Structure 1
Amino acid sequence: MFLSNSILRGLPVAGLIVAALGLAGCSQEKAEVKDIIRPVKVVEIAQAHDTRTLSYSGSVRARTESALGFRINGKITERLVDIGQHVAQGDVLARIDPADYDLSVNSAKAALDAAERQVETVDLARKRSEQLYTKNFASKAQFEQATLAYNQAVATRDSARSALDQAKNQVIYTDLKADRNGIVTSVGADVGQVVGSGTPVITVAVDGEKEVLIAVPEMEIAEFKPGKNVKAGFWSDNALALEGKVREVAGSADPQSRTFAVRVSLPNDPRVLLGMTASIEASAANERQLVSIPLSALAEKDSQSIVWTVDRGADTVHARPIKVAAFAADGVRVAEGLKPGDVVVAAGTQFMTENLKVKLAGGIAQQSASAEDGDAGQLR
């Protein structure tokens, strides 16, 4: 409502007052028309799940791995296999220099020959003594002494024979052989290296059952018991999914990482190769269900943590005190104050006032009530 200057000059004082009051009424009416209805982005707290999913990554390995080494000392002269090569039981994997052990065999043979000649000699003496004793030309002591010498010679011969067998075994041990079928996974020593008995030279992953080794933190280890069914996925093939079973749980935590080693058996599948990265998923019950909200939804009023909830019927917002349980990388865990079905302002909380009229912008996103380590929902 506007009055021209010429009209104002023609009005008496009373008329000017009335006109001024009219202009004030128009301004108030215009202010009421401009009441702010603020668009807001919100999330809805969805119903919590009774279970949560635990996921850990690990590598595929053979259930049994044999670190093979020579049973004798020596210098490696040949390595006959490479990493990744499949070997069969009895295949020669490496050799050490057999020269010294061949000499030991020759020496043992000579000692055995000497022992056998000694047995023949004392046997003749024993028989002669026995004949003389039976004819009373020799005393019983002489006969017993001859018999004792014979027995000692026989024992020496048997010892020499055992020494020869042992020397022959030493020669056999110069060949390192695979004791089972499998795949060579590592080489610990190579040609020219002098190794001691038992030093790991070649590691063979035995054919058969495969497993995944994962590390589980102590707060979740109670969810993994031998025999528990889990799901195994593989980074190399998203379509490959297998049902696994927990086979073994370590009895103590690793002193460095404070995690427990858990072995998960996998069914035999040719698509699963050693060394693949696998993801093991296991379900666990939610003992404590917490609501997860975005960090941007959290506000503070009178030193109290609050969120702004939307009254769907009146399209107004209201402050609601909450109890924060924890902060996470993906949001805030709320222990008290919210329930499934509540609509919470997710952004722009600094512009909210009690009973402020709002308009929901872009619909309502779902924010799940989750366990303490659950994933926060995303705004849409």
Structure 2
Amino acid sequence: MARFHLNWRKLLTWTLLLALAAGGYYYWRQQQIEPAAARYRTAPVERGDITQTVSANGTLNPVVLVSVGTQVSGTVRRIYADFNERVRQGEVLAELDPSLIEAQLAQSRAALANAEASLRLAEANEQRARALYAKDYIARAELDQARQALETARGQVASARAQMARDRTNLGYTVIRSPVSGVVVSRDVDVGQTVAASFQTPTLFKIAQDLRRMQIDTSVAEADIGSVRVGQPARFTVDAFPNRQFQGVVRQIRLNPTIQQNVVTYNVVIGVDNPEEILLPGMTAFVTIVVEQHRNVLRVPNAALRFRPAAADDEGERRPAEARRTGGTTVYRLEGERLTPVSIRTGITDNRHTEVLAGALRPGDRLVVADLSAKKQERNQGSRFRVGF
């Protein structure tokens, strides 16, 4: 009797253990089999505008920036223009000490006077020799010598006059005048400084012709330059006014490439109106060029184009291959509790949405953009890995 009672208690214990194990397994399976709506994150297919852009950085510069230099050497005696001053064309900006050039001009005048005196003597000798030769008092050779002396004297006079004109011109170069009307953006000399124009022309001033018209010199990568065209609109911001957006237009695409560390870029010039003159030369501009814009088109989120299910069936594996062969891609539509691959052909993108040119999609379709259960498993595995250590 005691043995029967003991066996009954063991049977009851094992029955309870099996029931608890079965219940635990059932609960675990129910946790593993999540509804598709809870397992996947989706986003709708919708209609809207898509603007494809190209981004680049550049520097603001005046459209015309003139470097004013000097053709003669000397010491700066006076300066009449300073930073940010407006000047007119022909206005005096600075003066160099003219003492040496004035001395050279005086020497040239003396040389010219000497040459003219020699010319008058040569003319008198030539006339005298011609009269004597007419009366057969001198030989033909003496007449030719007199004529040759006259031509030499005339050449010396011409040379002396040219030298005097050169010195007079150099004297005029000691007065530095503005070649254009504009604003002085740079002054590189001070009173008493010596400038030497022997090998290259030194820059004394830089004048921006009109700060109301500016340009941005940007560097666009070769991968994006094919979609940039003259006349396309552009938007840009500067650090000085972070909450304000300015407008511009692509004015020129320069064909001369720049290669740095095997990266090829092209200079794209953006024309900018600056009526308030708040944009200053040298500012860094963050430019967005609008290369194409489509309105009220069917569009899908870019995350849906990147999504691929963890375990795709044969049909799901075959369709992406077909989409690649036809130049399209595959997205996955959530229909009830199953994923349906849909092949589409895409158009332009704004890095958030992509235009759908062809495919069996309609506004309102839910496309899968992420698998939440896969991310949850990754987090769990990471937690177990950290706990194990």
Partner of 1:373: none
One-letter identity of the residue aligned with 1:203 = K
Q: Is the 8 A contact 2:331 2:341 kept in 1?
A: yes
Shift of 1:67: 1.9
Partner of 2:103: 103
1:213 maps onto 2:217 in alignment? yes
Partner of 1:300: 310
Gaps spanning 5+ residues in structure 1: where? Answer: 1-15, 323-329, 354-380
Shift of 1:317: 6.1
Q: Name the CA shift for 1:272/1:58 in 2 (closer, same or farther; >3 Å).
A: farther
Q: Which has the larger helix fraction? A: 2
Shift of 1:106: 1.3
**Count of residue pairs brought into register by the alignment:** 316
| Inter-partner Cα distance in structure 2 for 1:186 and 1:342 | 61
Q: Is the 8 A contact 2:186 2:207 kept in 1?
A: yes
| Inter-partner Cα distance in structure 2 for 1:51 and 1:115 | 78
Partner of 1:163: 163
Secondary structure in structure 2 of the residue aligned to 1:250: strand
Q: Name the CA shift for 1:69/1:118 in 2 (closer, same or farther; >3 Å).
A: same
One-letter identity of the residue aligned with 1:283 = V
Q: Which moved more, 1:192-201 or 1:144-153?
A: 192-201
> Matched residues, percent identical?
21
Secondary structure in structure 1 of the residue aligned to 2:233: strand
Q: Name the CA shift for 1:247/1:345 in 2 (closer, same or farther; >3 Å).
A: closer
> What's the TM-score once normalised by structure 2's chain length?
0.64
| Inter-partner Cα distance in structure 2 for 1:96 and 1:258 | 46
Partner of 2:233: 230
Q: Name the CA shift for 1:44/1:114 in 2 (closer, same or farther; >3 Å).
A: same
Secondary structure in structure 1 of the residue aligned to 2:183: strand
Q: Name the CA shift for 1:351/1:48 in 2 (closer, same or farther; >3 Å).
A: same
> What's the TM-score once normalised by structure 1's chain length?
0.66
1:204 maps onto 2:207 in alignment? yes
1:281 maps onto 2:285 in alignment? no
| Inter-partner Cα distance in structure 2 for 1:157 and 1:105 | 15
| Inter-partner Cα distance in structure 1 for 2:253 and 2:369 | 45
Gaps spanning 5+ residues in structure 2: where? Answer: 1-11, 321-329, 344-350, 378-389
| Inter-partner Cα distance in structure 1 for 2:360 and 2:79 | 68
Secondary structure in structure 1 of the residue aligned to 2:223: coil
Q: Is the 8 A contact 1:115 1:156 kept in 2?
A: yes
One-letter identity of the residue aligned with 2:202 = T
One-letter identity of the residue aligned with 2:227 = E
Q: Is the 8 A contact 2:180 2:209 kept in 1?
A: yes
Partner of 1:269: 275
Partner of 1:61: 61
Partner of 1:344: 368
| Inter-partner Cα distance in structure 2 for 1:222 and 1:242 | 22
